[in-house]
Amino acid sequence: MSIQESLLYSAEAIEEHYDAGDYIFREDATPQYYYQIVSGEVKLNSYKEDGKEFIQNIFSANACFGESMLILGKPYPVNAIALTKCIILKVAREHFLQLLQLHPDLFLDISKSLADNAHDKFVLMPKIASKNAEERLAELMNIMKDSKNQEKFSFEIPHTRQQLASLTGLSLETTIRAIKKMERGEILMIKNGKIFY
């Protein structure tokens, strides 16, 4: 989901630049801005008590993030961290809510996007609870793969093995073993170190 940049600028958007590893917002902070990525990648993560990272999602250009907490006015349950150099447009909450009042179709688009994300999480949750690593990874890859692009091995997984591990709650070693097993079972293909599903 993205909003036209011209509309964001009309709502007094500010362009900010981040380096890889920079925090855009931190867990428990009060939402103040709508964020939309112009370029780069951002991850939403949290850390378990043992310090292990759990990646909630990874976003790239034209995606927005954190909007549900902004609308609710509740503290962030996650961190937003730049994975790469990023350019991000941010709009103050007050101006963002005024923009939604002026353009109610945007609110509907955001609602549909949030509902779609919730649907994907509902589909993924039972698989993540499963002890079967291959099943967890396959479900995540199914969600990432464009529904129009069903040809076998036609989709390049845009994440590292470590990111796949963090997205599914698996260890890196288990993820690597599962990916190799999935390759032997012709569920995915590895070409030049890249995973194709």
**More confident position, 102 or 166:** 102
Q: What is the mean pLDDT of the chain?
A: 91
pLDDT tens, 83-139?
Answer: 999 999 999 999 999 999 999 999 899 999 889 888 888 887 777 777 789 988 998
Average the pLDDT over 34-54 and give the result: 92
pLDDT band at 175 (very low <50, low <70, confident <90, very high): very high
pLDDT surpasses 80 at 167: yes
pLDDT band at 147 (very low <50, low <70, confident <90, very high): low
Q: Mark 98-130 as b/e (b = at least 16 C-beta within 10 Å).
A: ebbeebeebeeebeebeeeeeebeeebeebbee
Residue from 104, 20, 25 nearest 67 by CA: 25
Assign residue 12 a region (left: φ > 0; alpha: ψ between -120 and 50; beta: otherwise).
Answer: left
Residue from 61, 68, 66, 57 nearest 27 by CA: 66
* pLDDT at residue number 149: 67
Tell me the β-bridge partners of 45: 55, 79
Q: Burial, 70: exposed, middle or buried (Cβ in 10 Å; 0-12, 13-18, 19+)? A: buried
Q: Read off the amino acid at residue 170.
A: L
pLDDT surpasses 80 at 171: yes
Among 19-33, 111-125, 159-173, which range has the highest average pLDDT? Answer: 19-33
- Tokens for 32, please give them: 């103040």
Q: Read off the amino acid at residue 47.
A: Y
The pLDDT > 90 percentage for the chain reads 69
Rounded alpha-carbon distances, angstroms, from residue 116 to 62, 109, 143, 170: 16, 11, 11, 24
